[in-house]
Protein backbone atom coordinates (compact mmCIF):
# COMPACT_ATOMS: atom_id res chain seq x y z
CA UNK A 1 0.00 0.00 0.00
CA UNK A 2 3.05 2.28 0.20
CA UNK A 3 3.14 5.32 -2.08
CA UNK A 4 5.85 7.89 -2.72
CA UNK A 5 3.96 11.06 -3.61
CA UNK A 6 6.83 13.09 -5.06
CA UNK A 7 8.91 12.66 -1.91
CA UNK A 8 6.03 12.47 0.57
CA UNK A 9 6.34 8.88 1.79
CA UNK A 10 2.88 7.55 2.60
CA UNK A 11 2.26 4.13 4.17
CA UNK A 12 -0.97 3.94 2.18
CA UNK A 13 -2.54 6.02 -0.62
CA UNK A 14 -5.29 7.70 1.43
CA UNK A 15 -5.19 11.25 2.76
CA UNK A 16 -7.83 13.89 3.46
CA UNK A 17 -8.63 16.98 1.39
CA UNK A 18 -7.56 20.37 2.68
CA UNK A 19 -10.27 22.26 4.55
CA UNK A 20 -12.38 19.21 5.33
CA UNK A 21 -10.33 17.75 8.21
CA UNK A 22 -9.31 20.80 10.22
CA UNK A 23 -5.73 20.38 11.43
CA UNK A 24 -6.14 16.68 12.27
CA UNK A 25 -6.67 17.18 16.01
CA UNK A 26 -10.39 17.94 15.59
CA UNK A 27 -10.93 14.57 13.90
CA UNK A 28 -8.61 12.60 16.18
CA UNK A 29 -11.52 12.45 18.65
CA UNK A 30 -13.60 10.64 16.02
CA UNK A 31 -11.20 8.44 14.05
CA UNK A 32 -7.73 6.91 14.36
CA UNK A 33 -5.86 9.50 12.29
CA UNK A 34 -2.60 7.55 12.66
CA UNK A 35 -3.94 5.08 10.07
CA UNK A 36 -4.02 7.72 7.33
CA UNK A 37 -1.34 7.82 4.64
CA UNK A 38 -0.97 11.57 5.26
CA UNK A 39 -2.87 14.39 6.96
CA UNK A 40 -3.54 17.41 4.75
CA UNK A 41 -4.44 20.53 6.70
CA UNK A 42 -6.56 23.58 5.96
CA UNK A 43 -4.99 26.32 3.81
CA UNK A 44 -2.40 28.54 5.55
CA UNK A 45 -1.20 31.98 4.52
CA UNK A 46 1.41 34.24 6.10
CA UNK A 47 -0.85 36.03 8.60
CA UNK A 48 -4.01 34.86 10.43
CA UNK A 49 -7.06 35.27 8.22
CA UNK A 50 -10.73 35.29 9.24
CA UNK A 51 -12.20 34.24 5.89
CA UNK A 52 -15.58 35.36 4.52
CA UNK A 53 -18.64 36.51 6.49
CA UNK A 54 -21.40 33.99 7.28
CA UNK A 55 -23.29 32.25 5.76
CA UNK A 56 -20.43 30.57 4.01
CA UNK A 57 -21.61 27.10 3.19
CA UNK A 58 -24.80 25.52 1.90
CA UNK A 59 -25.83 21.97 1.13
CA UNK A 60 -27.03 21.16 -2.40
CA UNK A 61 -28.16 17.89 -4.00
CA UNK A 62 -24.96 15.94 -4.54
CA UNK A 63 -22.69 18.03 -2.35
CA UNK A 64 -22.13 21.46 -0.90
CA UNK A 65 -21.10 24.93 -1.97
CA UNK A 66 -18.66 26.72 0.30
CA UNK A 67 -17.08 30.13 0.46
CA UNK A 68 -15.18 29.79 3.72
CA UNK A 69 -12.61 32.19 2.28
CA UNK A 70 -9.57 30.31 3.60
CA UNK A 71 -9.87 31.12 7.30
CA UNK A 72 -6.69 30.17 9.10
CA UNK A 73 -4.21 30.89 11.91
CA UNK A 74 -1.28 32.01 9.73
CA UNK A 75 2.11 30.28 9.57
CA UNK A 76 3.26 31.10 13.09
CA UNK A 77 -0.10 30.19 14.66
CA UNK A 78 -0.18 26.92 12.75
CA UNK A 79 3.34 25.96 13.77
CA UNK A 80 2.71 26.88 17.41
CA UNK A 81 -0.83 25.58 17.96
CA UNK A 82 -1.29 22.68 15.56
CA UNK A 83 2.07 21.13 14.68
CA UNK A 84 2.76 19.73 18.18
CA UNK A 85 -0.25 17.39 17.89
CA UNK A 86 0.43 16.56 14.25
CA UNK A 87 4.01 15.53 15.11
CA UNK A 88 2.71 13.00 17.64
CA UNK A 89 0.74 11.15 14.94
CA UNK A 90 3.84 9.96 13.08
CA UNK A 91 1.87 10.56 9.85
CA UNK A 92 3.27 12.77 7.06
CA UNK A 93 1.79 16.27 7.24
CA UNK A 94 0.90 18.03 3.99
CA UNK A 95 0.37 21.75 4.51
CA UNK A 96 -1.92 23.49 2.03
CA UNK A 97 -0.62 27.02 1.44
CA UNK A 98 -1.91 30.13 -0.28
CA UNK A 99 -1.19 33.82 -0.77
CA UNK A 100 -2.23 36.79 -2.82
CA UNK A 101 1.19 37.30 -4.43
CA UNK A 102 4.07 35.06 -5.48
CA UNK A 103 6.17 36.59 -2.72
CA UNK A 104 3.63 35.65 -0.06
CA UNK A 105 3.48 32.03 -1.24
CA UNK A 106 7.28 31.88 -1.28
CA UNK A 107 7.55 33.32 2.23
CA UNK A 108 5.00 30.84 3.59
CA UNK A 109 6.95 28.00 1.94
CA UNK A 110 10.25 29.30 3.32
CA UNK A 111 8.92 29.51 6.88
CA UNK A 112 7.23 26.10 6.76
CA UNK A 113 10.49 24.56 5.54
CA UNK A 114 11.90 25.36 8.97
CA UNK A 115 9.00 23.78 10.88
CA UNK A 116 9.82 20.28 12.10
CA UNK A 117 7.39 17.64 10.90
CA UNK A 118 6.11 19.28 7.71
CA UNK A 119 6.41 16.65 4.96
CA UNK A 120 5.23 18.54 1.91
CA UNK A 121 3.42 21.60 0.59
CA UNK A 122 0.21 21.58 -1.38
CA UNK A 123 -0.08 24.85 -3.29
CA UNK A 124 -3.63 26.16 -3.52
CA UNK A 125 -3.42 28.11 -6.77
CA UNK A 126 -7.15 28.90 -6.94
CA UNK A 127 -6.51 32.29 -5.31
CA UNK A 128 -6.63 35.80 -6.76
CA UNK A 129 -3.31 37.27 -7.81
CA UNK A 130 -3.75 40.75 -6.39
CA UNK A 131 -0.84 42.23 -8.38
CA UNK A 132 -2.31 40.94 -11.65
CA UNK A 133 -5.79 42.43 -11.27
CA UNK A 134 -7.21 39.69 -9.09
CA UNK A 135 -7.31 36.89 -11.69
CA UNK A 136 -6.79 33.49 -10.11
CA UNK A 137 -3.26 32.11 -10.54
CA UNK A 138 -4.71 28.71 -11.34
CA UNK A 139 -6.54 29.60 -14.54
CA UNK A 140 -3.51 30.97 -16.43
CA UNK A 141 -0.73 28.50 -17.30
CA UNK A 142 1.91 31.28 -17.36
CA UNK A 143 0.90 32.42 -13.88
CA UNK A 144 1.05 28.81 -12.64
CA UNK A 145 4.49 28.34 -14.14
CA UNK A 146 5.83 31.54 -12.62
CA UNK A 147 4.28 30.86 -9.19
CA UNK A 148 5.54 27.29 -8.98
CA UNK A 149 9.04 28.35 -10.06
CA UNK A 150 9.11 31.08 -7.39
CA UNK A 151 7.97 28.73 -4.62
CA UNK A 152 10.39 26.06 -5.88
CA UNK A 153 13.29 28.43 -5.24
CA UNK A 154 12.04 29.04 -1.68
CA UNK A 155 11.85 25.44 -0.44
CA UNK A 156 13.28 21.95 -0.74
CA UNK A 157 10.10 20.39 0.63
CA UNK A 158 8.07 18.27 -1.82
CA UNK A 159 5.91 20.71 -3.77
CA UNK A 160 2.44 19.75 -5.00
CA UNK A 161 0.40 22.42 -6.82
CA UNK A 162 -3.34 21.78 -6.62
CA UNK A 163 -4.96 22.33 -10.00
CA UNK A 164 -8.21 24.18 -10.62
CA UNK A 165 -10.88 22.26 -12.59
CA UNK A 166 -12.37 25.25 -14.43
CA UNK A 167 -9.83 25.40 -17.25
CA UNK A 168 -10.27 24.49 -20.92
CA UNK A 169 -7.24 22.16 -21.11
CA UNK A 170 -5.86 20.64 -17.91
CA UNK A 171 -2.82 19.27 -19.75
CA UNK A 172 -1.41 22.78 -20.22
CA UNK A 173 -1.48 23.23 -16.45
CA UNK A 174 0.07 19.85 -15.73
CA UNK A 175 2.95 20.64 -18.07
CA UNK A 176 3.36 24.20 -16.73
CA UNK A 177 3.51 23.01 -13.12
CA UNK A 178 5.84 20.07 -13.62
CA UNK A 179 8.23 22.01 -15.86
CA UNK A 180 8.43 24.69 -13.15
CA UNK A 181 9.53 22.12 -10.59
CA UNK A 182 6.44 20.47 -9.07
CA UNK A 183 7.14 17.08 -7.44
CA UNK A 184 3.51 15.94 -7.53
CA UNK A 185 0.14 17.38 -8.54
CA UNK A 186 -3.17 17.43 -6.67
CA UNK A 187 -6.51 17.69 -8.46
CA UNK A 188 -9.23 18.85 -8.29
CA UNK A 189 -10.20 21.91 -6.31
CA UNK A 190 -13.89 22.90 -6.08
CA UNK A 191 -15.90 24.07 -9.11
CA UNK A 192 -17.16 27.68 -9.13
CA UNK A 193 -20.85 27.67 -8.15
CA UNK A 194 -23.77 29.77 -6.88
CA UNK A 195 -26.99 29.05 -4.97
CA UNK A 196 -30.00 31.41 -4.83
CA UNK A 197 -32.75 31.53 -2.19
CA UNK A 198 -35.83 31.77 -4.40
CA UNK A 199 -38.04 33.32 -1.69
CA UNK A 200 -35.72 36.25 -0.94
CA UNK A 201 -34.14 36.17 -4.41
CA UNK A 202 -30.77 36.61 -2.77
CA UNK A 203 -27.61 34.55 -3.08
CA UNK A 204 -27.47 32.19 -0.08
CA UNK A 205 -23.75 32.73 0.50
CA UNK A 206 -22.64 36.11 1.84
CA UNK A 207 -19.83 35.91 -0.71
CA UNK A 208 -22.50 35.30 -3.40
CA UNK A 209 -20.42 32.59 -5.11
CA UNK A 210 -18.49 29.63 -3.79
CA UNK A 211 -17.04 26.26 -4.72
CA UNK A 212 -19.00 23.06 -5.36
CA UNK A 213 -17.65 19.85 -3.82
CA UNK A 214 -18.95 16.37 -3.09
CA UNK A 215 -20.33 13.50 -5.18
CA UNK A 216 -21.66 15.83 -7.91
CA UNK A 217 -18.13 16.68 -9.03
CA UNK A 218 -16.69 13.16 -8.98
CA UNK A 219 -17.10 12.26 -12.68
CA UNK A 220 -15.69 15.68 -13.61
CA UNK A 221 -12.66 14.95 -11.46
CA UNK A 222 -12.18 11.46 -12.93
CA UNK A 223 -12.05 12.90 -16.43
CA UNK A 224 -9.53 15.56 -15.41
CA UNK A 225 -7.33 13.05 -13.55
CA UNK A 226 -7.38 10.75 -16.57
CA UNK A 227 -6.40 13.61 -18.89
CA UNK A 228 -3.72 14.85 -16.49
CA UNK A 229 -2.25 11.34 -16.22
CA UNK A 230 -1.63 11.29 -19.97
CA UNK A 231 1.02 13.99 -19.71
CA UNK A 232 2.06 13.85 -16.05
CA UNK A 233 5.61 12.80 -15.25
CA UNK A 234 4.96 13.28 -11.53
CA UNK A 235 2.53 11.38 -9.26
CA UNK A 236 -1.06 12.59 -8.96
CA UNK A 237 -3.15 12.99 -5.80
CA UNK A 238 -6.83 12.81 -6.80
CA UNK A 239 -9.84 14.23 -5.00
CA UNK A 240 -13.41 15.21 -5.77
CA UNK A 241 -16.52 13.48 -4.51
CA UNK A 242 -15.05 10.38 -2.90
CA UNK A 243 -17.72 8.88 -0.62
CA UNK A 244 -16.39 5.32 -0.42
CA UNK A 245 -13.79 2.95 -1.86
CA UNK A 246 -15.30 2.80 -5.36
CA UNK A 247 -14.65 6.45 -6.23
CA UNK A 248 -11.12 6.20 -4.86
CA UNK A 249 -10.40 3.06 -6.90
CA UNK A 250 -11.77 4.82 -9.99
CA UNK A 251 -9.24 7.63 -9.46
CA UNK A 252 -6.38 5.14 -9.09
CA UNK A 253 -7.40 3.35 -12.29
CA UNK A 254 -7.60 6.73 -14.06
CA UNK A 255 -3.97 7.38 -13.14
CA UNK A 256 -3.77 8.72 -9.58
CA UNK A 257 -1.12 7.42 -7.18
CA UNK A 258 -3.03 8.54 -4.07
CA UNK A 259 -6.45 9.92 -3.15
CA UNK A 260 -7.93 12.44 -0.74
CA UNK A 261 -11.34 12.32 0.93
CA UNK A 262 -12.99 15.73 1.32
CA UNK A 263 -16.65 16.64 1.78
CA UNK A 264 -17.50 13.08 2.84
CA UNK A 265 -15.65 13.75 6.13
CA UNK A 266 -18.54 16.02 7.13
CA UNK A 267 -21.04 13.19 6.65
CA UNK A 268 -18.99 10.28 7.97
CA UNK A 269 -15.53 10.95 9.40
CA UNK A 270 -14.65 7.27 9.07
CA UNK A 271 -14.81 7.53 5.25
CA UNK A 272 -11.01 7.72 4.73
CA UNK A 273 -10.53 4.52 6.74
CA UNK A 274 -13.37 2.76 4.89
CA UNK A 275 -11.73 3.84 1.64
CA UNK A 276 -8.41 2.43 2.80
CA UNK A 277 -9.94 -0.92 3.75
CA UNK A 278 -11.90 -1.01 0.49
CA UNK A 279 -8.78 -0.48 -1.63
CA UNK A 280 -7.01 -3.29 0.25
CA UNK A 281 -9.96 -5.62 -0.29
CA UNK A 282 -10.10 -4.71 -4.01
CA UNK A 283 -6.40 -5.46 -4.48
CA UNK A 284 -6.81 -8.84 -2.79
CA UNK A 285 -9.94 -9.64 -4.82
CA UNK A 286 -8.15 -8.82 -8.09
CA UNK A 287 -4.93 -10.60 -7.18
CA UNK A 288 -2.88 -7.40 -7.30
CA UNK A 289 0.06 -7.23 -4.95
CA UNK A 290 0.51 -3.46 -4.83
CA UNK A 291 -1.55 -0.33 -5.16
CA UNK A 292 0.94 0.85 -7.78
CA UNK A 293 -0.36 -1.94 -10.03
CA UNK A 294 -3.76 -0.27 -9.98
CA UNK A 295 -2.48 3.22 -10.84
CA UNK A 296 -3.21 3.99 -14.49
CA UNK A 297 -4.57 0.49 -15.18
CA UNK A 298 -7.52 1.81 -17.20
CA UNK A 299 -8.57 -0.56 -19.96
CA UNK A 300 -9.46 1.36 -23.12
CA UNK A 301 -11.38 -1.30 -25.04
CA UNK A 302 -14.98 -0.58 -26.04
CA UNK A 303 -17.27 -2.33 -23.51
CA UNK A 304 -19.60 -3.60 -26.28
CA UNK A 305 -17.08 -4.79 -28.84
CA UNK A 306 -14.02 -5.41 -26.63
CA UNK A 307 -11.98 -3.67 -29.31
CA UNK A 308 -9.43 -0.92 -28.69
CA UNK A 309 -10.63 2.29 -30.42
Ligand X SMILES: Cc1cc2nc3c(=O)[nH]c(=O)nc-3n(C[C@H](O)[C@H](O)[C@H](O)COP(=O)(O)O)c2cc1C
* Binding positions for ligand X, rule: CB under 6 A: 17-20, 42-43, 64, 66, 68, 70, 96, 124, 162, 189-190, 213-214, 217, 239-242, 262-263
Catalytic residue, from 38, 127, 170, 177: name it: 127
Q: Which of 246, 195, 187, 240 is nearest to 214 (CA)?
A: 240
Residues with Cβ within 8 Å of 176's Cβ and at least 6 positions away in sequence, in order, are 141, 142, 144, 145, 148
Alpha helices, H only, the chain:
25-28, 74-81, 83-89, 102-113, 141-154, 170-179, 218-231, 245-254, 264-267, 271-285
Q: Does residue 127 have an active-site annotation?
A: yes
- HSE-up of residue 71 (Cα within 13 Å, Cβ side): 12
Separation CA 229–CA 118 (nearest Å): 27
**What is the nearest approach in angstroms of ligand X to the Cβ of residue 118?**
16
Sheet containing 57-60, strands listed edge to edge, beginning at the edge strand earlier in sequence:
57-60, 63-66, 209-213, 191-194
- Compare residues 20 and 89 and give the one whose CB is closer to ligand X: 20
Least distance from ligand X to the Cβ atom of residue 115, Å: 18
How many whole angstroms separate alpha carbon 232 and alpha carbon 259? 16
Residue nearest ligand X by beta-carbon distance: 19
* Least Cβ distance, residue 1 to ligand X (angstroms): 20
CB of 301 to ligand X, least distance (A): 29
- Active-site positions read 127
Amino acid sequence: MRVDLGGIRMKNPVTVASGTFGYGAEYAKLVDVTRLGAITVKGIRLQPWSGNPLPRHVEVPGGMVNAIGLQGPGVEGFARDYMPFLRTTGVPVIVNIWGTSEEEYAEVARRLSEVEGVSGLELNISCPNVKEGGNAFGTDPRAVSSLVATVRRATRLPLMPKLAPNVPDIKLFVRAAQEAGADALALINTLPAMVIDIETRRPILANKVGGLSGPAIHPVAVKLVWEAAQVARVPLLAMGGIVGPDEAIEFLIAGASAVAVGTANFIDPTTPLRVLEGIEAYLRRHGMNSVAALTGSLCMTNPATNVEP
